[in-house]
Structure 1
Amino acid sequence: MLYGIAAATAALLLTAVLAAALRLPALRASILDRRRQRPLPLLGGLAVVIVTCLVAWTGEWTRIAPLGDGVGRLLWAAAGLAALGLVADVWRLRARVLAAGTAAAAVCVVPYDETGLPGGVLAVGWIVLATVAFKGLDHADGLAGTVGVVTAFGAGACAAAEVMDGLAVLLSVVAAALTGFLMHNWPPARIGLGACGSLFTGFVLSSAVVLTRAGYEIGPSAAVVFCLGAVAAADALLVVLSRGLARRPLLRRGPDHLAHRLRRAGLTPQGSVVLLGAGSFSAVLVGVLVHTGWTGERAVCWVAGTAVLAVLVLLLIPVPHPRRAVPSQVRGPLRVRKG
């Protein structure tokens, strides 16, 4: 208990300091997110990854808080995925490459002896979808970090209920590191999470839920994992419906996510993050109560219904479509046909 508090405190402070220190190198190296109104440096996620791995492996090395084989393997896979995300922040990798890397990492962490082969395949698919959906939450300042903190606490409570102490400590460290990062990412942000941090966080959270629910029936497990990822799932559903109805490419970026539409509805950037954070807290709380048996699975229907209703309402809010790039060069002079 005391080590968990000390580890979380150290993770919070170290991440806050390291994120501030990495801002200037990111600006000088032009590791920026240029989708926003202003270029945003993207090495904040690297600070989260470094501090989380450092604090977690310190507990493992000193044997004060051993992670265990499954959790240690999860952390190694997440670190490898974070490295791929860092490459994407620098050189702009395609989304399919990131999805393939996430799938390869997920294959390494699923406990097939408890899930079985069919359940393991479903678990890999869930981890990939949840990680990609969480990465999509990095479209607004403070949103991915806020939802990540809430989800980490919820997943940590589920892990503690299963007496998975190593996993619970890791999730508390992740929550603390994200809190330190939020000191610089709260709107208006001074540094961003980037693919490095968003892939790492989404992968750790989704994999932790799979490890926690391993051995349970698929139906109740699906209810719990949906609640813990409800906001990311709603955002992904909104984007898919919006771009499908507009006949736009699914992977083309655009201002059609949850926070974008809430801002067009009149909310401030801070207000939209607080509202979505409150929605995440409510859904995660239901998931924890279902996991621990304090409430039945029917409570998940309220979460799903609310998420679908919110998506349908926000779908009615018009958003501007990104314009296609205009060719910078004209191949030849314009000729007018006579006659």
Structure 2
Amino acid sequence: MNASTILMTGLAGFLLTALATGPLGRLAIRWGITDRPGGYKAHARPIPYLGGVAIMLGTVAPVIVIVGLNDLTLAVVICAAVAVALLGLIDDIAPLSPIARLGVESVAAAGVVLGGLHAPVTGGWPDVPLTILWIVLITNSFNLLDNQDGSLGAITAAGAAPLAVTAFVAGRPMIGMMLTALCCAGVGFLLHNWAPARVFMGDSGSLFIGFVVACSATAVARDEAPDQVIGTLLLPTFVATIDTGVVLLSRARAGRPLLLGATDHLSHRLNALGLSVGGTTLVLAGAAALSGALNLAMTLRLTPPLITTVAAVAAVIVLIGLLQKAHSPVPGPAGEPAVSITERR
């Protein structure tokens, strides 16, 4: 894959997303596909969704037109990711039950696995259900990350870039091209979503991003040595994994429903430490870039795979524990649990 093709794909992803987000946002307002203000939400007027549709178009269209879908793995991942984006779009219009969402996501993940993509964690048949579970988990972890203006767009751009390079190095050029488009689509979306956001990506974007990143990490891990499979899966999803762990643990300890919005995400905890919304976004994006760079270094054998993997797992556990203390909840109305000031719904 030559440099000009990579550059064209990235530029197309950026321009298509940047140019499509505005019109799609106006269409969302006309159709009433918006996040309405109320409670402790930060915005005072309805903010349109459909930014995720622009991200999906900015990722998929350049790949189809410039790269093509001759690679089976790429074709299967693209088709399944589009299905997940459509699921998110439906959920943005008329919220679905968690069971329905998980069911469709599981079918999409199973389709990818049946297409030949799985992570060789055990080397046996358990790899199939483990891969499906992993893809679904990470898909929803990225969905949880979309809780503050600019956060997920920046994390996507910062994390997809080193993962794209890793894919090229690992002999997965088609996956690398898809990630290049995704990275640049994230940058294009940030033009509209940086605080104060004018457009939200919604579930169509966050689920799509999570699915693509999960499948891409799995594709790279498939051909890696056994001692670095776990690290290859964990490092590109480092921020999402920590955020999900922190959220689930804090809600379980407080006796709150796991799916109820609250000020217990990484972004809220960093805000509680005194960081602004923009500062929080930069910290999370920096963490995504750093963990992605560490994954690349491991793939290049610049760092010992086993030690890197153990350190990454330990860091996740330690950070989840430490971040439990950095929490300043916003009280909800009398008798109700806390509600996030930036939770989309």
**TM-score, structure 2 as length reference:** 0.87
1:165 is displaced (CA, Å) by 1.8
Question: Superposition pairs for residues 89-238 of structure 1, below 5 Å?
Answer: 89-110=92-113, 111=116, 115=120, 116-216=124-224, 219-238=227-246
The AA in structure 2 aligned to 1:228 is: P
Aligned match of 2:66: 59
Give the conservation status (yes or no) of the 8 Å contact 2:117–2:219.
Answer: no
CA deviations on 1:158-192 (whole Å, 9 max, x unpaired) are 21012222111111011111110011111111111
Aligned match of 1:22: 24
Give the conservation status (yes or no) of the 8 Å contact 1:286–1:300.
Answer: no
Aligned match of 1:6: 8
Give the conservation status (yes or no) of the 8 Å contact 1:31–1:89.
Answer: yes
Q: How far apart, in 2, do the equivalents of 1:179 and 1:197 lie?
A: 13
The AA in structure 2 aligned to 1:19 is: T
Q: Alpha carbon RMSD of aligned pairs, Å? A: 2.0
Give SS of 1:250's match. Answer: coil
CA gap 1:197/1:325 in 2 versus in 1, 3 angstroms: farther
Q: How far apart, in 1, do the equivalents of 2:175 and 2:103 lie?
A: 25
- Among candidates 305, 320, 334, match of residue 311 of structure 1: 320
The number of residue pairs the alignment matches comes to 322
1:49 is displaced (CA, Å) by 0.9
1:143 is displaced (CA, Å) by 1.1
Give the conservation status (yes or no) of the 8 Å contact 1:43–1:193.
Answer: yes
Question: Superposition pairs for residues 248-327 of structure 1, below 5 Å?
Answer: 248-296=256-304, 297-316=306-325, 317-323=327-333
Aligned match of 1:79: 82
The AA in structure 2 aligned to 1:188 is: P
Q: How far apart, in 1, do the equivalents of 2:147 and 2:156 lie?
A: 14
CA gap 1:211/1:132 in 2 versus in 1, 3 angstroms: same
1:97 is displaced (CA, Å) by 2.0
Structure 1, gaps ≥5 residues long: 327-339
Give the conservation status (yes or no) of the 8 Å contact 1:254–1:321.
Answer: no
1:207 is displaced (CA, Å) by 0.3
Deviates more, 1:160-169 or 1:31-40: 31-40
Structure 2, gaps ≥5 residues long: 337-345
1:273 is displaced (CA, Å) by 0.7
The AA in structure 1 aligned to 2:73 is: G
The AA in structure 2 aligned to 1:21 is: P
Give SS of 2:135's match. Answer: helix
Q: How far apart, in 2, do the equivalents of 1:59 and 1:325 lie?
A: 55
Question: Superposition pairs for residues 34-45 of structure 1, below 5 Å?
Answer: 34=36, 36-38=41-43, 39-45=46-52
CA gap 1:23/1:281 in 2 versus in 1, 3 angstroms: same
CA gap 1:218/1:41 in 2 versus in 1, 3 angstroms: farther
Q: How far apart, in 2, do the equivalents of 1:263 and 1:30 lie?
A: 31
* Identity across matched positions, percent: 28
Q: How far apart, in 1, do the equivalents of 2:274 and 2:223 lie?
A: 45
The AA in structure 2 aligned to 1:56 is: V
1:3 is displaced (CA, Å) by 1.5
